[in-house]
């Protein structure tokens, strides 16, 4: 039975389209999915989304809206009928209530099977840097299992592996800026010299559309041109927002206690143990060639005055 959140809105007039092929994006009203969907619309494509948050679309009537109901594989397959490329951004950042990474893996398998059943021509999938089935971290282990499940479908695919994404809607940089605007002291776990390789979400969207045209199955690290250490990143954000907060290094165990306490006060999850430990282990870094051109440092100086003026609550965004 078709999910009741099917809205099937089609808005872009056929006369203004340059390409009548239909593409689907999971989570087109979320973060990376929104950037990909808008890039597709700009290219004149028809866009459909499968989403668990159909009301977030607001006035975006140029996107056809279907429910992302993993308990109803038949409705998923029907929603994917006629789709040329499926851009998959579905995942969960951390376990919350009944939703965990094991369930996210099973949901991903259900989605891929529905895509094959519907005759989808290709899947462009967003993963993470350094996924591994042997990883001690459920996030990275789950991402590796999803990549394996995608390969096992037999469908043509491209896998893009980013780590930290940024733009004015990004939660991580925004909330670091928010804390720097308000706290007298900001703590960094360990020596803070572990690096990250951030990519602007628009660069990621551009890469995703390019990947849809690749003729061979490929796996690519989606990374920007800069590799700051975490301390360097925090200092850059502090300068961009005009903060005088003192940056201190603390043991990782203490950082996690502090993050948990602050998260309780904010009714949110600021940082999970696995997120800190994986970053400290270098899993947010890559030696791969640039796939993005927007430099984080330049972007911060331009957008600093507006960054972190409001807190972005992850639990409200995804679970409430």
In a domain, 4, yes or no: no
Q: Looking at the structure, do residues 34 and 174 belong to the same domain, yes or no?
A: no
How many domains, in total, are found in the chain?
Answer: 2
pLDDT of res. 1: 34
In a domain, 213, yes or no: no
Q: Indicate if the pLDDT at residue 126 is higher than 70.
A: yes
Q: Domain containing 94: what range?
A: 14-161
Look up the CATH number of the domain holding residue 234.
Answer: 3.90.25.10
Q: Indicate if the pLDDT at residue 13 is higher than 60.
A: no
pLDDT of res. 2: 37
Q: Indicate if the pLDDT at residue 10 is higher than 60.
A: no
Tell me phi and psi for residue 83, to 5 degrees.
-80, 130
Q: Looking at the structure, do residues 151 and 245 belong to the same domain, yes or no?
A: no
User: Residues of 205-222 as b/e, b for ≥16 C-beta within 10 angstroms?
Assistant: bbbbbebbeeeeeeebbb
Q: How confident is the model at residue 281 (pLDDT cuts 50, 70, 90)?
A: very high
Among residues 144, 161, 178, the one where a domain terminates is 161
Which of helix, strand or coil describes residue 81? coil
pLDDT of res. 19: 67
pLDDT of res. 11: 40
Please give the share of the chain, as a percent, with pLDDT higher than 90: 85
Average pLDDT over residues 172-188: 97
Q: Looking at the structure, do residues 152 and 70 belong to the same domain, yes or no?
A: yes
In a domain, 81, yes or no: yes
Q: What is the pLDDT of residues 59-83, one digit of tens each?
A: 567 899 999 999 999 999 999 999 9
Q: Looking at the structure, do residues 244 and 103 belong to the same domain, yes or no?
A: no
For residue 137, CA distances in Å to 209, 304, 311, 319 come to 30, 33, 27, 22
Q: Looking at the structure, do residues 130 and 239 belong to the same domain, yes or no?
A: no
Q: Looking at the structure, do residues 184 and 156 belong to the same domain, yes or no?
A: no
Q: Looking at the structure, do residues 171 and 311 belong to the same domain, yes or no?
A: yes
Q: Indicate if the pLDDT at residue 99 is higher than 50.
A: yes
Q: What is the pLDDT of residues 137-162, one digit of tens each?
A: 999 999 999 999 999 999 999 999 99
For residue 5, CA distances in Å to 9, 68, 92, 144, 228 come to 11, 9, 21, 31, 42
**pTM given for the model:** 0.91
pLDDT of res. 56: 74
Nearest to 26 by CA among 91, 108, 87: 87
Q: Looking at the structure, do residues 74 and 178 belong to the same domain, yes or no?
A: no
Q: Indicate if the pLDDT at residue 7 is higher than 50.
A: no
In a domain, 221, yes or no: no
pLDDT of res. 60: 63
- Pick the more confident residue, 244 or 318: 244
Q: Looking at the structure, do residues 111 and 20 belong to the same domain, yes or no?
A: yes
Q: List, in sequence order, every residue forming a beta bridge with 23; answer none if it has no partner.
A: 47, 85
Q: Looking at the structure, do residues 21 and 101 belong to the same domain, yes or no?
A: yes
In a domain, 110, yes or no: yes
Q: Looking at the structure, do residues 134 and 170 belong to the same domain, yes or no?
A: no
Among residues 117, 140, 161, the one where a domain terminates is 161
């Amino acid at each position: 039975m078709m999910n009741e959140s099917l809205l099937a809105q089609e808005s872009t007039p056929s006369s203004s389209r340059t390409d009548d092929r239909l593409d689907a994006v999971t989570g087109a009203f979320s973060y990376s999915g929104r950037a990909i969907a808008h890039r597709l619309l700009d290219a004149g494509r028809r866009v459909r989304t499968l989403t668990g948050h159909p009301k977030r679309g607001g006035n975006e009537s140029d996107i056809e809206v279907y429910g992302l109901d993993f308990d109803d594989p038949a409705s998923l397959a029907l929603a994917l009928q006629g789709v040329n490329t499926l851009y998959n951004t579905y995942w969960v950042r951390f376990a919350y209530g009944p939703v965990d990474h094991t369930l996210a893996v099973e949901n991903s398998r259900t989605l891929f099977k529905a895509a094959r059943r519907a005759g989808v021509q290709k899947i462009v999938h967003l993963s993470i840097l350094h996924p591994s089935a042997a990883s001690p971290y459920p996030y990275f282990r789950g991402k590796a299992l999803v990549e394996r499940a995608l390969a096992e479908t037999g469908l043509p695919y491209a896998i893009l592996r980013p780590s930290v994404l940024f733009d004015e809607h990004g939660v991580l940089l925004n909330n670091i800026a928010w804390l720097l605007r308000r706290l007298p002291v900001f703590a960094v776990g360990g020596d803070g010299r572990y690096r990250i390789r951030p990519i602007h979400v628009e660069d990621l969207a551009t890469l995703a559309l390019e990947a849809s045209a690749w003729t061979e199955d490929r796996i690519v690290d989606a990374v920007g041109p800069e590799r700051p250490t975490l301390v360097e990143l925090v200092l850059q954000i502090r300068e961009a927002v005009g903060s005088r907060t003192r940056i201190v290094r603390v043991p990782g165990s203490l950082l996690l206690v502090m993050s948990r306490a602050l998260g309780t006060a904010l009714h949110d999850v600021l940082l999970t143990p696995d997120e800190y430990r994986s970053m400290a282990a270098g899993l947010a870094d890559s030696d791969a060639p640039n796939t993005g051109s927007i430099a984080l440092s330049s972007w911060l100086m331009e957008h600093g005055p507006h960054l972190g003026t409001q807190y972005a609550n992850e639990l409200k965004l995804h679970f409430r």
